[in-house]
Chains A and B, each alone.
Chain A
């Protein structure tokens, strides 16, 4: 029997401004799609690289969780501390960027899918808590941070919300491509 697919986003309540609420709804939609797409993934596939020096799905899942916490803290003007939330360091936790010819970081070895689901859920809970406090007046607030390479960044809170979504979606696409390559394992690299 033919079914009707419904594509809607339910904007959550409890937020100080709808724009932040909508971004969290979009992130939740992305998470649901991603986790459904990888729900049967094994630890072996999570660690698989198409070539040495390339990211694995496990690294990308950890990266998405770390980045969500980092940018939530940056938007709030808080110091970055992902270890307290995720048990992973902001700079070393995902192993990115990998040196050429490197394997995934040892501390992610053998981790099952449930480990990454937990990371993502903790990151989202943190992001949600912070997003709920963002007001419409906060959206144009300019924050700054200094990256490891000394580069100073200025960004608005509204840009951070957009970046969290586009960053998640970009790596989501890469994970789908990695799954395809793992299934085929005929990559000419």
Chain B
């Protein structure tokens, strides 16, 4: 029977500016929808590669948590460096990205179930919320220049760009995770 689906963007309270509040709502909406779509995914599916060297769903979930924990710290709060292990319990390298050609998923993710990945994402999000609550309208245009990378190159951005980047980065990998679920369902036995 047809039913009503209502979709509104509710700006959460407790923020100094409605702008970061909206971005956090968007991240939470993406997270809710992603994990709804992943219901029933087994540890085997989370570790499945379409081919050697390809990312797994688990790697992408770990990457989402790592990237958010790092980017919120350095790109929104403006800290010199992040503390990813202290925030989510794994290191910045534990997603295994980028895998070498013909590489296998990192051993640290082996056997991890969906709840484990959800906990990493939730821990990263809690820190993002803490940081975003303190962002003011004036902060949004604050320019941040990161220290030089090993090749000497530098990245510069402002706080609102980073908030946008957090959302679009999550969305892009979320789309890939949905596609990997589809590929897993239709896979042929090796």
Say yes or no: B167 contacts A184, CB within 8 Å.
no
Is B157 an interface residue when CB atoms closer than 8 A count as contact?
Answer: yes
- A30 vs B167: C-alpha distance when bound (angstroms): 12
Q: Known: A150-B2, A154-B6, A188-B51. Is A170-B183 also a contact (CB below 8 A)?
A: no
Is A3 an interface residue when CB atoms closer than 8 A count as contact?
Answer: yes
Is A13 an interface residue when CB atoms closer than 8 A count as contact?
Answer: no
Say yes or no: A154 contacts B54, CB within 8 Å.
no
Say yes or no: A181 contacts B7, CB within 8 Å.
no
Looking at the complex, which one of A150, A162, A169, A174 makes contact with B9 (CB distance below 8 Å)?
Answer: A162
Say yes or no: A151 contacts B160, CB within 8 Å.
no
- A162 vs B158: C-alpha distance when bound (angstroms): 20
Say yes or no: B176 contacts A176, CB within 8 Å.
yes
- A172 vs B179: C-alpha distance when bound (angstroms): 12
Say yes or no: B155 contacts A5, CB within 8 Å.
yes
Contacts of A187 in B (CB 8 A): 50-51, 183
Looking at the complex, which one of A151, A162, A177 makes contact with B176 (CB distance below 8 Å)?
Answer: A177
Count residues on chain A whose CB falls below 8 Å from chain B CBs.
48
Is B138 an interface residue when CB atoms closer than 8 A count as contact?
Answer: no
0/1 string, A143-167, CB within 8 A of B gives 1: 0001001111111101100110110
Say yes or no: A9 contacts B50, CB within 8 Å.
no
Stretch of B106-114, B117-125, B146-154 that contacts chain A: B146-154
Q: Known: A151-B3, A169-B171, A188-B190. Is A54-B154 also a contact (CB below 8 A)?
A: no
Count residues on chain B whose CB falls below 8 Å from chain A CBs.
49
- A167 vs B165: C-alpha distance when bound (angstroms): 14
Is A142 an interface residue when CB atoms closer than 8 A count as contact?
Answer: yes
Looking at the complex, which one of A2, A166, A186 makes contact with B152 (CB distance below 8 Å)?
Answer: A2
Contacts of A30 in B (CB 8 A): 168
Contacts of A171 in B (CB 8 A): 175
Q: Known: A7-B161, A53-B186, A173-B175. Is A155-B8 also a contact (CB below 8 A)?
A: yes
Chain B contact residues: helix, strand, loop or mixed: mixed
Write the nearest CB–CB distance from A52 to chain B, whole angstroms.
9
Looking at the complex, which one of A29, A54, A162 makes contact with B182 (CB distance below 8 Å)?
Answer: A54
Say yes or no: A166 contacts B167, CB within 8 Å.
yes
Say yes or no: A189 contacts B187, CB within 8 Å.
yes
Write the nearest CB–CB distance from B33 to chain A, whole angstroms.
9
Say yes or no: B148 contacts A2, CB within 8 Å.
yes
Contacts of B52 in A (CB 8 A): 186
Is A84 an interface residue when CB atoms closer than 8 A count as contact?
Answer: no
Residues of A at under 8 Å CB distance from B?
1-9, 26, 29-30, 50-51, 53-54, 142, 146, 149-156, 158-159, 162-163, 165-166, 169-174, 176-178, 180-181, 184, 186-189
Besides the known contacts A7-B155, A174-B176, 10 further A-B residue pairs in the complex with CB atoms under 8 A apart: A3-B153, A4-B145, A9-B164, A155-B6, A158-B9, A169-B172, A170-B174, A170-B178, A178-B179, A184-B54
Question: 9 A-B Cβ contacts within 8 A?
Answer: A2-B151, A2-B153, A152-B5, A162-B26, A165-B168, A172-B175, A173-B173, A178-B179, A188-B50
Residues of B at under 8 Å CB distance from A?
2-9, 22, 26, 29-30, 50-54, 145, 148, 151-158, 160-162, 164-165, 167-168, 171-176, 178-180, 182-183, 186-188, 190
